[in-house]
Amino acid sequence: MGRRKKIVQECEKLMDKPDQIRNIAIAAHVDHGKTTLSDNLLAGAGMISDETAGQQLAMDTKDDEQERGITIDAANVSMTHEYEDRNHLINLIDTPGHVDFGGDVTRAMRAVDGALVVVDAVEGAMPQTETVLRQALREGVKPALFINKVDRLISELQEGPQEMQERLLKVIRNVNELIRGMTEDMDDVDDWTVSVEEGTVGFGSALYKWGVSMPSMQATGLDFGDIIDMERNDQRQELHEKTPLSDVVLDMVCEHFPDPLDAQPRRIPRIWRGDDTLDVAEQMRLVDDDGEVVLMVTDIGIDPHAGEVASGRVFSGGLEKGQELYVSGTAGKNRVQSVGIYMGGEREEVERVPAGNIAAVTGLRDAIAGSTVSSIEMTPFESIEHISEPVITKS
Ligand code: GDP
């Protein structure tokens, strides 16, 4: 059996175990390394080769993206990761980092429960870091932080351990100030600031494929001094082998991001304002696989063979071929032609996509990004508010 087929089968085995699912987005200011980091994760999961991670730009599926070197569409990918002797299904949405594509970022946040925010160690938090954080928090999505390009502090800026630590702490402080400011009036979340001690902050180099966090440093015994020595002595490959970025980040995702069972009771009242005493409200809060089918479409893509493909989050019930579903804002029903998951930008058809997952669906001809698709007529989800960047106009 091919490697790809095997991964699809592994994903399928985990799809109906919501406590082993993590739906996540990676978001960043442009050029801070989101695409390079995503490629590391795909390579770590065995989906692209280790050597080509960083060059392959697997998440950039459109030709014009490859040419322009920026990520345009939010691409989806499902992968598996073993953490503490349990396999996990990680549904990852890559979000555009370019200033013009903020609407896609907001939509991507609707589908996920955790957002890994990537910040360039040299540049620090930038305006778009603030925007993506605001988008995540507004959707009730928990943030974690990855400080990237740490290799540059060592090799280019020649910083020592003290200077480096001060710089990294400053980035964390800035990000936490932003999070605090955005969550102070939210009574449905605990403290969502990030912390090195708690393991919600990672550091490293997506380019050279190494990463560290407090738990990983405790496990490997490597400290900042060792890392600086290895970076300087051209032992980057060894550093990657000792403390691979993908393991550090995916362990963090499994440990700290909520699974759908944790997330949906908190997120549903925030994103859906229907009658909360209805059965369907309870089914969505509880990720009820036997409940009514409820899908929130977050993106419409075009497949050269299948035509329009809707992707989105299944909040309750299970999506299957042949179902006749209501599409909010339109009359009549659409018939599901196929259901699937995404593997590195490609769609793989499966029999059924259960509640708590991100699905790819064909046949929903009336659906647009933002549609609520359901087996009963119901109040649609709140429209997705697009938070735009500050516009600078020339006079
Ligand atoms: P995105 O716009 O956030 O997706 O950023 P990319 O992943 O496309 O990276 C932008 C640029 O930064 C590319 O030239 C990468 O090779 C480079 N880059 C990404 N990660 C690192 C890193 O950890 N260290 C260094 N030195 N460069 C990096």
The predicted complex's ipTM stands at 0.99
> What is the CA(149)–ligand 1 centre distance, in A?
7
- Tokens representing 378 are 């119901």
Identify the pLDDT of residue 75.
Answer: 67
- Kindly compute the dihedral angle of the four CA atoms of residues 350, 353, 358, 361, in this order, to the nearest 10 degrees: 60
As a residue count, the chain comes to 395
Burial of 383 (0-12, 13-18, 19+ CB in 10 A): exposed
- d(Cα 320, Cα 250) in Å, to the nearest integer? 29
- d(Cα 292, Cα 280) in Å, to the nearest integer? 6
Q: Please compute the mean of the pLDDT values over residues 203-218 and round it to a whole number.
A: 96
What's the mean per-residue pLDDT of the chain? 87
Q: Please compute the mean of the pLDDT values over residues 231-236 and round it to a whole number.
A: 92
Q: Please compute the mean of the pLDDT values over residues 354-363 and round it to a whole number.
A: 96
Least confident segment among 87-96, 149-158, 315-324, 327-336: 87-96
Identify the pLDDT of residue 385.
Answer: 66
- d(Cα 371, Cα 341) in Å, to the nearest integer? 19
Identify the pLDDT of residue 105.
Answer: 65
Identify the pLDDT of residue 198.
Answer: 94
- Please report which helix (H) or strand (E) contains residue 38, including its range: helix 34-44
Question: What is the CB neighbour count within 10 angstroms for residue 371?
Answer: 24
pLDDT digits (tens, 9 = 90+) for 305-331: 888 999 999 999 999 999 999 999 999
User: Which residues are annotated binding-site positions for GTP?
Assistant: 28-35, 94-98, 148-151
The residue whose two tokens read 């003290």 is 162
Would you say residue 302 has pLDDT above 80? yes
> What is the CA(219)–ligand 1 centre distance, in A?
27
Q: What is the 3-state secondary structure (H, E, C) of 363-376?
A: CCCCCCCCCEEECC
Q: Which band of pLDDT confidence, cut at 50, 70 and 90, is reported for residue 53? A: low
Q: Please compute the mean of the pLDDT values over residues 324-341 and round it to a whole number.
A: 95
26, 36, 100: which to mutate for ligand 1, most atoms within 8 A of CB? 36
DSSP 8-state assignment for residue 391: P
Q: Please compute the mean of the pLDDT values over residues 196-210 and round it to a whole number.
A: 96
Residue 69 CA: which ligand 1 atom is closest?
8
> What is the CA(96)–ligand 1 centre distance, in A?
14
pTM check: above 0.80: yes
Burial 223-233 (b: 16+ CB within 10 A, else e): ebebbbebbee
Identify the pLDDT of residue 372.
Answer: 97
Q: Whose CA is nearest to atom 11 of ligand 1?
A: 31
Least confident segment among 50-64, 129-143, 176-190, 350-364: 50-64
Q: Please compute the mean of the pLDDT values over residues 115-124 and round it to a whole number.
A: 97
CA triple 214-22-93, angle to 5 deg:
100
- Please report which helix (H) or strand (E) contains residue 302, including its range: strand 294-303
> What is the CA(309)–ligand 1 centre distance, in A?
30
Backbone angles phi and psi of 206, in degrees to 5: -70, -30
Residue 206 CA: which ligand 1 atom is closest?
23
Residue 152 CA: which ligand 1 atom is closest?
26
Residues at CB less than 6 angstroms from ligand 1: 28, 30-36, 71, 97, 148-149, 151-152, 205-207
User: Which residues are annotated binding-site positions?
Assistant: 28-35, 94-98, 148-151
Would you say residue 68 has pLDDT above 50? no
Identify the pLDDT of residue 64.
Answer: 44
Q: Which of 26-40, 48-62, 334-348 has the highest mean pLDDT?
A: 26-40
pLDDT digits (tens, 9 = 90+) for 273-289: 999 999 999 999 999 99
| 3-state DSSP assignment of residue 71 | coil
Q: What is the 3-state secondary structure (H, E, C) of 140-197?
A: CCEEEEEEECHHHHHHCCCCCHHHHHHHHHHHHHHHHHHHHHHHCCCCCCCCCCCCCC
> What is the CA(207)–ligand 1 centre distance, in A?
6
Residue 24 φ/ψ region, left for φ over 0, alpha for ψ in the -120 to 50 degree band, beta for the rest: beta
Residue 329 φ/ψ region, left for φ over 0, alpha for ψ in the -120 to 50 degree band, beta for the rest: left
Q: Please compute the mean of the pLDDT values over residues 109-130 and round it to a whole number.
A: 95
| Contacts of residue 208, Cβ cutoff 8 Å, sequence gap at least 6 | 151, 231, 236, 239, 240
CB-CB contact of 296 with 313 (8 Å): yes
